[in-house]
Amino acid sequence: MTTTMAIKVTVNGETRVADVEPRTLLVHWLREDLALTGTHIGCDTSQCGACVVHVDGRAVKSCTMFAAQADGCAVTTIEGLGAADALHAVQDGFWEEHGLQCGFCTPGMIMTAAELLARNPDPSEAEIRHALEGNLCRCTGYHNIVRAIQHAAKGATA
């Protein structure tokens, strides 16, 4: 079990090199080794989407990928998407429309929504709900999450 692999990953714009066990999940590497704890873990069967990050621009469940597979990739986590004084449009939408309650699903939701809007800047409600198929929220009933994403889309296309 002591074999490790050398990886080089650009995380939130910064180059990170590390030796990781081949079995180390990307989400654990981000959370435990890089202290990027905004990415959450809500399940062990790849259902909940609390762990979604962007890998080379695509929304990926980081619990379903080994850190080693991210070698050579660019990873963006919620911490890299926007800052409190420079929110990404989706973060702002979630704040404006009360798109979160406990906030646990929120980073994954925001990362999924940001990727959706990058692909499809003006999604219909049905398209938004479809895009959220891999993300579970237990607090909001999704109502305001949908509105938050619509808000962000409106801002982006206005």
**Residue ranges that bind ligand FES, judged by CB under 6 A:** 41-43, 46-51, 61, 63, 100-106, 137-140
Q: Is residue 38 involved in binding other proteins (CB under 8 A)?
A: yes
- Residue 150 three-state SS: helix
**8 A C-beta contact, residue 132 and residue 50:** no
Reduced to 3 DSSP states, what percent helix, strand and coil does the chain have, rounded to the nearest 5? 40, 20, 40
Determine the interface stretch with other proteins among 33-41, 54-62, 67-75, 116-124 (rule: CB under 8 A): 33-41
Q: Is residue 142 involved in binding other proteins (CB under 8 A)?
A: yes
Q: Is residue 112 involved in binding other proteins (CB under 8 A)?
A: no
Whole-angstrom Cα distance, residue 126 to residue 67? 33
What residue 37 binds from ligand FES, other proteins, none (CB within 5 to 8 A, per partner kind)? other proteins
